């Protein structure tokens, strides 16, 4: 239920559970790939030695952000059953 001014709206949205599971699974796989790539960069001594601190910080931030998003997607998948 959403309240807009004096009006109350009741919205019912059907979700295609199978399609949503497929979409979330693909997105989770993409994020896992991005995390692996970023971690590979951080694990490469030559990259870490030559990269400016701002680049290293950005790469670490990307890993953290991707990890947080991946956790949310996994929670959504669990709720879908």
Output the tens digit of pLDDT for each of the chain's 81 residues: 667 777 877 777 788 899 999 999 999 999 999 999 999 999 999 999 999 999 999 999 999 999 999 999 999 999 998
What is the helix (H) or strand (E) element at residue 26, kind and residue range? helix 17-43
Query: Which of 33, 15, 27, 36 shows the shortest CA–CA distance to 72?
Result: 27
**In this structure, are residues 38 and 48 in contact, taking their beta carbons and an 8 Å threshold?**
no
Token pair for residue 26? 């693909």
What are the chain's domains?
Answer: 16-80 (1.10.287)
Q: How far apart are CA 48 and CA 57, in angstroms?
A: 11
């Amino acid at each position: 239920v959403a309240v807009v001014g004096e009006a109350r709206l009741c919205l019912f949205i059907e979700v295609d559970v199978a399609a949503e599971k497929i979409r979330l699974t693909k997105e989770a796989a993409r994020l896992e790939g991005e995390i692996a790539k970023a971690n590979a960069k951080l694990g490469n001594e030559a990259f870490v030695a030559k990269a400016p601190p701002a680049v290293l910080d950005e790469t670490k931030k990307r890993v953290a952000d991707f990890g947080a998003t991946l956790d949310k997607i996994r929670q959504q998948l669990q709720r879908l059953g």
